[in-house]
Amino acid sequence: MAHILIIDDSQVEARMLKGMLEHAGHTVSHATNGYEGIEIAKVENPDLILMDVVMPLINGFQATRELSRAPETQHIPIVVCSSKDSDTDFLWAKRQGARGYLIKPIRAPELLTLVKRFVLEQG
């Protein structure tokens, strides 16, 4: 199974995602802001990152850009998870280096399909 890092300042949202992922057998880490997420990603080298957009300090787009360009983390797929559902947000996330985009509220079937697509099929 995969190690997944959730970067989201909402404890409720993170707990929900963590529950879905752990129920499916995955290991989960959690960061509450972009800076913390970048540091955890560098240390733990997760198989996938689920990135919120609206967070304190630096937003998810900024953290995605930094992680996708850093040599030690650029191989990690990042999926932006946001309530923002415009084409512009989706395109901007991709431009920052995200490989996927999920619109909140996230349901278990779509989340687990995405994990399979980005992690299990690549490994």
Average model confidence (pLDDT) for the chain?
95
Q: For the domain with range 3-120, which CATH number is right: 3.40.640.10, 3.30.460.80, 3.40.50.2300, 3.30.1330.50?
A: 3.40.50.2300
Nearest to 42 by CA among 9, 74, 80: 74
- The pLDDT of residue 47: 97
* pLDDT class of 84 with cuts at 50, 70, 90: confident
Residue 123 has pLDDT above 80, yes or no: no
> What is the C-alpha end-to-end distance of the chain, expressed in Å?
10
Residue 65, Cβ neighbours under 10 Å: how many?
Answer: 19
Cα–Cα distance, 50 to 14 (Å, whole number): 10
pLDDT digits (tens, 9 = 90+) for 14-73: 999 999 999 999 999 999 999 999 999 999 999 999 999 999 889 999 999 999 999 999
Average pLDDT over residues 72-96: 95
- The pLDDT of residue 121: 64
Which residue ranges make up each domain of the chain? 3-120
